[in-house]
Amino acid sequence: MTTHALLPSRNEDYGFFRALTVCPERDRRSAEVWTLASRMIAEAIRAESEDEMIGIRDFLDSRIGRHFADDVVGNMTGCKIELEPAIASAIRRWQGWRIDRATERSEGIPAGLPYLTGWVQHFAVAAAMAESN
């Protein structure tokens, strides 16, 4: 696992962060959930660089991150399943899917990559390109 710091959300009103306020009886703050998901994603994709940590943050802050959060919430089945297994299940599912040719054409993510890895890498590259401009 990476030794780089997990990055906080820059978009708490949208994306993953906002979506996980649906189970207030869990008494878990969104920041704690964000940290848990970020750590688990970093482990799953074997993140080794600061750029990948930026990619995780930007993925979770994005529209695609909101879809990931919806998957996590769906796994919780009415808040009856604990959060960590729900996130792990979503990660397994997203890593099991593959980037298709249509996504390759529209987003530039190489077809065949695991879906979660591909999107995190996409956001890491986008952030690096924005920084260099």
| Whether residue 23 has pLDDT greater than 80 | no
d(CA 31, CA 29): 5
| Whether residue 128 has pLDDT greater than 90 | yes
Terminal CA-CA length for the chain: 30
Q: How many C-beta atoms lie closer than 10 Å to residue 10's C-beta?
A: 11
d(CA 23, CA 9): 19
Between 20 and 66, where is the model more confident? 66
Residue 79: pLDDT band by 50, 70, 90 thresholds?
A: low
Residue 3: pLDDT band by 50, 70, 90 thresholds?
A: low
Q: What is the pLDDT of residue 22?
A: 54
Helix axes of 50-61 and 30-45: crossing angle, nearest 10 degrees: 130
d(CA 28, CA 105): 39
Q: How many C-beta atoms lie closer than 10 Å to residue 100's C-beta?
A: 13
d(CA 85, CA 126): 30
